[in-house]
Amino acid sequence: MKEVIHTPVPSVEEEEYHINMGPQHPSTHGVLRLVVSLQGEIVKNLKPHCGYIHRGMEKMCEKDTYPQIIHLTDRMDYLSAHINNHAVCLLVENALQIEVPERVKYIRTIMDELCRIQSHQLWWASFGMDLGGLTCFFYGLRDREKILDIWEETTGARFLQSYYTPGGLMWDIHPDFQKNVKAFIKYFRKKIRDYEKILSGNVIFTERSRNIGLMTKEEAISYGVTGPSGRGSGWSCDIRKHHPYALYDKVEFKEILYHEGDTLARYMVRMDEMYESMHIIEQLIDNIPEGDFSAKMKAVIKLPAGEYYQRVESARGDLGIYCISDGNKTPYRMKFRTPSFSNLSVLDHISRDLKIADLVAIGGSLDLVIPDIDR
C-alpha cells in the first residue's frame, strides 16, 4: 500500500500561510507546482516542486540510437523543438567530424530563428495573459500560426518537427518556403508594432513590470540564468555569439543586453530579439545555396568512445548536451542541461517580499517551459 506522500512545506512562521500554485494553475504554464508561503499577499518564500511530467528522458536516451534521440529532444522544450534537434545533430556531427553542406547550415539557421520568433511570440502572448491583458494571447497566437504553417509545408509537422537529422535534414525545403518566409517577415514587421502598442507602451504594464524581480548580473551567473532572462540582467551569455555554430559567425546580429535586471528588461530583451531574428533571416533567406540537403551518413551512427559537450542557444537560453559514449550506437550517458531548469532555481530568490501578482509576472518573464524543466 502506498504511504501518504509527505512533501516538505516551507517553514511557516506566525501569520504565514501557504498556498499551492499548481500543478493546475493558469499561470504556471503547465504542470509546475509552487508551494508559496504568504503573509497576506506578500510572498515570503516559495518552493518549486517539479517532476509532474518527468519522463526519464536521460534514461530513455541510454536505450536509443542517436537519430532516435532527436525525436525525444523535441519533447523537451517543445517551443524550441528545432533548436533542441540542432543540438543533438551538432553533437553527433562534431563527434564524427562531419562537415554538413552549406545549404543545410542556411536552412538550419533560418529554422532556428523562426523557432525563436515563434517561441517569443507565444511567450509574449502568455505573458500578456499573465498580466491580465487577454487580447495579447490572441495576437501572439495569430502570428505564431503563420510560422507553424510555414513549418507544416516543409516538415510536415506544426509543433514537434524532428526535421534535422545527423548530417543534414530530413528532406529538402518546400518550393514555396523562401516566398512564404519573406511574406511572413513582411507581415510580422508590421504586426510587431501592435505588440508594442498594446503592451510595451501601456503604462499599467510598465508599472507592473518595472523594478519587479530584480536580478543582478552576479546572481544571474551564479544561478545560471541564461538566455533572454540572463541578458536582461546585462550578462552577455548568447551562445550564438560566444560559441558560434551553424552560420551565426557569418551573419550580422546584435546580442541584446539590458542592464536593469527587472521584469521589464527581460521583456524588452525578448521583444528586441524578435527583431534581431528577423534581421538574421532576412540576410539568409535569399542566399540559400543549391546543393544536397544532407551529408553522406552511415546507416548506423556510432560515436567514438569519449565525452562530448554541445551548447546551443535555445529560445530560453543555454542548452547543453553532455554525452558520454562508449563507442556503441547508443550513448552511455546523455545529460541535458536545460535552460528552464536553471532559470527556475532563481524564482524563489527574486520573488521574495513581492506580491502574488508580481510572482506571476516574474514567472512569466523567466519564460519557463515545464517539460524543459522535468525532461
| Contact with another protein (CB under 8 A) among 175, 289, 291, 306 | 306
Task: State the alpha helices, DSSP H only, in the chain.
Answer: 57-61, 66-74, 81-96, 102-130, 134-155, 177-195, 203-209, 217-223, 227-231, 239-242, 263-285, 339-345, 347-350, 356-366, 370-374
Instruction: Output 106 or 258, the one with its CB closest to another protein.
Output: 258
Q: Does 54 bind another protein (CB under 8 A)?
A: yes
Q: Does 193 bind another protein (CB under 8 A)?
A: no
CB 105 within 8 A of CB 86: no
Phi, psi of 131 (to 5 degrees): -90, 5
How near is the Cβ of 4 to another protein at its closest, in Å?
Answer: 9
Instruction: State the number of binding residues for another protein (CB under 8 A).
Output: 73
Contact flags string 270-289 toward another protein, x per CB under 8 A: --------------------
Q: Does 6 bind another protein (CB under 8 A)?
A: yes
Instruction: Output 150 or 346, the one with its CB closest to another protein.
Output: 346
- The x, y and z cell numbers of residue 290, run together, are 543549391
Q: Does 254 bind another protein (CB under 8 A)?
A: no
Contact flags string 309-348 toward another protein, x per CB under 8 A: x-x------x-x-x-x-------xx-x-x---xx-xxx--
CB 367 within 8 A of CB 316: yes
How near is the Cβ of 106 to another protein at its closest, in Å?
Answer: 26
Q: Does 190 bind another protein (CB under 8 A)?
A: no
Other CB atoms within 10 Å distance of the CB of residue 173: 21
Q: Does 130 bind another protein (CB under 8 A)?
A: yes
| Contact with another protein (CB under 8 A) among 9, 99, 138, 250 | 138
- DSSP 8-state assignment for residue 199: I
Q: In this structure, are strands 306-314 and 168-169 parallel, antiparallel, or unpaired?
A: unpaired
Instruction: Report the C-alpha gap between 310 and 90 in whole angstroms.
Output: 7
